[in-house]
Structure 1
Amino acid sequence: MTKTVVVLGGAYAGVGVAHRLLKHTKPQVPDLKVILVSKNSHFFWNLASVRAIVPGQLKEEQYSLPIEKGFAKYPADSFEFIVGGAEAVDVAAKTVKVSTKDGERLLSYDHLVCATGTRAVDAAVPWKSSGTYEETAAVLAQIQAKVRTAKHIVVAGAGATGVEAAAELAFEYGKEKEVVLLSGDAEILGGDSLASNVAGELAKLGVGIRRSARVEGARELPDGKTEVLLAGGDKIVTDLYLPTMGMAANTEYLPAELLTDRKFVDIDEFYRAKGAKDVWAAGDIVWKPRGSFVLADKQAGGVAKNIDLALKGKPPVVVKTLPMDVLMVATGRSRGSGRLGPVKVFSIMVYMIKGKTLGIQQLPTYVDGSAF
């Protein structure tokens, strides 16, 4: 009797779980079928989004590749790819309602993997896949066009994404464009121990940092510029406004009882959703301890292993990710700052690990499964 695993989400965690099950579990569980559901027909390597906004730096195929081609090697009866979005999950009936361009489908599952990640609250920025492939490509094209002509750019939010976006722009354009980074906190990176090092790197690139500058709103002016309103009443008029703060979990399709107060999936140590049978979650949708490419990959590996064990009638094992908190921040295309736990990492190492390519060389291996 066929055992069906439905995986929701076509990014790092979802694709990672699907490939691992098909490569490593399917040979031992012949009746396994994996159904992967993704709004985006392409795998969007969003780690590179901060560089993709700079015109001419990356070709589309370096950060976006079709998902289905990567799974073509698997037999048709063991894998199905659906371009669509989950609308509702019935954990009692073990079904998922999915909307596609051809209408609704009701999928039955033996195991469900929720890996739909997070989205930027402002859909006009490209830090995450903005839905379909066409929508994501359009957002990036619009931002690139605005970057070309802008003389003044405001990047709001001084977390890793904001820092890296500001650094990429300043590295490319230098004094040709004024780049301002707004930090809602008194220090960038939320006061992380890397804050002073990263601030120094940004200063070398010419990025202007405004601390304790929390954005309260923004509006487009008749001339196409944007007016950014800060707490306290200050206003900044800019040619291009790029907000990076505000991520929301893509969990609207799940029952409320499976979620935390912040709307992320509430999981146990095995990465099972609490309060549901045979429902698992991995990646940014769990935000444990934060959203991270490395964590998503580790979590996906753990979930795939536990589903493998469940299909073989064995108990799950605790999912282990990283033994320490790791933070790597690229500051342009030649330097960076990072730490492994409390231990600082040399700039050249951060450049080699992350800043040089932002990992785009791994995209083909994720799509075709050779990374797993």
Structure 2
Amino acid sequence: MAKTVVILGGAYAGVSLAHRLLKQTKPHVKDLKVILVSKNSHFYWNMASVRAIVPGALKEEQYSIPIEPGFAKYGPDSFEFVVGTAEGIDLEGKTVRVSVAAAEGKAAAGERAIAYDHLVLATGTRSVDAAMPWKAAGSGAEVLAVVAGLQERVRAAKHIVVAGAGTTGCEVAAELAYAYGKASKAKPEDRKEIVLLSGDPGVLGGDSLASSVAAELAKLGVETRPSSRVTGSRALEDGRTEVSLAGGDALATDLYLPTMGMAPNTEYVPPALLTERGFVDVDEAFRAKAAGAGDVWAAGDVVWKPRGSFVLTDKQAAGVAKNIDLALRGKPPVPVKTLPIDVMMVATGPERGAGRLGSVKVFSVFVYLIKGKTLGTQRLAGFVDGSAF
């Protein structure tokens, strides 16, 4: 009897986990079938979103390519790709209810119940503001439309406010300043004023990297305003945006880019499987803790354990793939090993950055080589076709 693993989510965790099962488990579990359900028909390399909004900086195919062709080599008996959205899980009946999107040459849109032997939740998180492209929110075409729209707004703006001074906010401000800031190579008529608002007294929430990143931003000409927490925003009649700050201050800008706030994509998950914050609650094997959910696993930002991170997601996906392999062979799962130390890398434009391995800071050139130079886009094709695993 076939063993079916259903994976919900077509981003870093879901796609890599599917390939790992098909390449490493399928050879000795011959009746294995993997079904990957993704709201997005394309793999969106969102790590590059901070650069993609700069007109001309990246081509579309550098950060978004179709998922399904990357799995064609496995055949329909081993793999199925479903473009759709999970709507609910029946733990007792071991089925997932999916709203399937219409696709050219395929079945019409509708609802489908997909049975599973093992289920992986890898639906990640989304930006609270759906108009921002820091995470994929919608179909491949919708994500590309958001990026293209922002490129045009960036091109037209003379004053840009980036709100939220976490990693994403710092990287967005740095990319914009590198291209258009006071210290950039842009023509005088093309230069823009870039303002970064930090709700805390410093960037990165006071992390030990804060002073290094702040110094890099200053070199690029970014105006960083500490202790400037955003309380709201509204459109003005002249097309600009007014950003309200705690304490009553406000500033008007041509373009407002909020980067703070991520929400887990877990509306379809039974509440018993979630933490108070709405993330999937997992044990050390990254299996759902709730009673009756022994065949449900999770990986990536949807667990936010200990936080969202590309490196952590990849380690978690590898660990869950190993544990499903063990379960399919009747063996107990093992703890998932991630990283022995906390790692943070912040790219401050295409040429520099700041980072640390635990408490040890690393040279800017190291961050440039590891992250800033390409933001990982050279790995996109290998992720989608499985050659990276």
Give the TM-score band, short-chain normalised: over 0.9
| 1:123 match | 130
Q: Where does structure 1 lack aligned partners over 5 or more consecutive residues?
A: none
Query: In 2, are the aligned partners of 1:43 and 1:67 still within 8 Å (CA)?
Result: yes
Query: In 2, are the aligned partners of 1:91 and 1:277 still within 8 Å (CA)?
Result: no
* Alpha-carbon offset, residue 220 of structure 1: 1.0
Q: What is the CA–CA distance in structure 1 between the aligned matches of 2:275 and 2:38, rounded to whole Å?
A: 23
Q: What is the CA–CA distance in structure 2 between the aligned matches of 1:300 and 1:224, rounded to whole Å?
A: 44
Asked if 1:202 corresponds to 2:209, the answer is no
| 1:262 match | 277
| 2:62 match | 62
Instruction: String of CA shifts for 1:253-276, please: whole Å, max 9, x gaps.
Output: 000010001000000000001111
Equivalent residue for 1:112, pick from 106, 113, 119: 119
| 2:199 match | 184
| 1:227 match | 242
Query: In 2, are the aligned partners of 1:182 and 1:213 still within 8 Å (CA)?
Result: yes
Equivalent residue for 2:303, pick from 275, 286, 296: 286
Name the aligned partner's letter for residue 267 of structure 1: V
| 2:313 match | 296
Equivalent residue for 1:326, pick from 343, 359, 378: 343
* Alpha-carbon offset, residue 135 of structure 1: 1.1
Q: What is the CA–CA distance in structure 2 between the aligned matches of 1:184 and 1:166, rounded to whole Å?
A: 15
What SS does structure 1 have at the residue aligned with 2:306?
coil
Q: Pairwise mapping of residues 1-372 of structure 1 onto structure 2 (< 5 A)? A: 1-101=1-101, 102-175=109-182, 176-275=191-290, 276-372=293-389
Name the aligned partner's letter for residue 314 of structure 2: D
* Alpha-carbon offset, residue 174 of structure 1: 1.9
Instruction: String of CA shifts for 1:199-249, please: whole Å, max 9, x gaps.
Output: 000000000001110000011112110000001110010000000000000
TM-score for the superposition, normalised by structure 2: 0.95
Name the aligned partner's letter for residue 272 of structure 1: R
The alignment of Structure 1 onto Structure 2 pairs a total of residues equal to 372
RMSD over equivalenced CA pairs, Å: 0.5
Q: What is the CA–CA distance in structure 2 between the aligned matches of 1:251 and 1:18, rounded to whole Å?
A: 20
Name the aligned partner's letter for residue 199 of structure 1: A
Name the aligned partner's letter for residue 125 of structure 1: M
Name the aligned partner's letter for residue 313 of structure 1: G
Name the aligned partner's letter for residue 76 of structure 2: A
Q: What is the CA–CA distance in structure 2 between the aligned matches of 1:312 and 1:277, rounded to whole Å?
A: 15
Name the aligned partner's letter for residue 297 of structure 1: D
Query: In 2, are the aligned partners of 1:40 and 1:83 still within 8 Å (CA)?
Result: yes
Kindly, what percent of the aligned residue pairs are identical? Answer: 73
Q: What is the CA–CA distance in structure 1 between the aligned matches of 2:326 and 2:237, rounded to whole Å?
A: 60
Name the aligned partner's letter for residue 300 of structure 2: G
Q: What is the CA–CA distance in structure 2 between the aligned matches of 1:75 and 1:55, rounded to whole Å?
A: 39
Instruction: String of CA shifts for 1:325-363, please: whole Å, max 9, x gaps.
Output: 000000011100000000000000000100000000000
TM-score for the superposition, normalised by structure 1: 0.99
What SS does structure 2 have at the residue aligned with 1:112?
strand
Q: What is the CA–CA distance in structure 1 between the aligned matches of 2:346 and 2:134, rounded to whole Å?
A: 15
Q: What is the CA–CA distance in structure 1 between the aligned matches of 2:212 and 2:148, rounded to whole Å?
A: 32
Q: What is the CA–CA distance in structure 2 between the aligned matches of 1:179 and 1:259, rounded to whole Å?
A: 39
What SS does structure 2 have at the residue aligned with 1:306?
helix
Q: What is the CA–CA distance in structure 2 between the aligned matches of 1:73 and 1:231, rounded to whole Å?
A: 55
Q: What is the CA–CA distance in structure 1 between the aligned matches of 2:198 and 2:135, rounded to whole Å?
A: 20
* Alpha-carbon offset, residue 15 of structure 1: 0.4
Q: What is the CA–CA distance in structure 2 between the aligned matches of 1:90 and 1:303, rounded to whole Å?
A: 21
- The structure 1 segments of at least 4 consecutive aligned residues displaced by more than 2 Å after TM superposition are none
Q: What is the CA–CA distance in structure 2 between the aligned matches of 1:56 and 1:84, rounded to whole Å?
A: 31
* Alpha-carbon offset, residue 187 of structure 1: 1.0
Q: What is the CA–CA distance in structure 2 between the aligned matches of 1:346 and 1:17, rounded to whole Å?
A: 32
Q: What is the CA–CA distance in structure 2 between the aligned matches of 1:224 and 1:277, rounded to whole Å?
A: 53
Q: What is the CA–CA distance in structure 2 between the aligned matches of 1:106 and 1:4, rounded to whole Å?
A: 13
What SS does structure 1 have at the residue aligned with 2:268?
coil
Name the aligned partner's letter for residue 247 of structure 1: M
Name the aligned partner's letter for residue 114 of structure 2: L
Q: What is the CA–CA distance in structure 1 between the aligned matches of 2:138 and 2:41, rounded to whole Å?
A: 9
What SS does structure 1 have at the residue aligned with 2:86?
strand
What SS does structure 1 have at the residue aligned with 2:72?
coil
Name the aligned partner's letter for residue 127 of structure 1: W
* Alpha-carbon offset, residue 131 of structure 1: 1.2
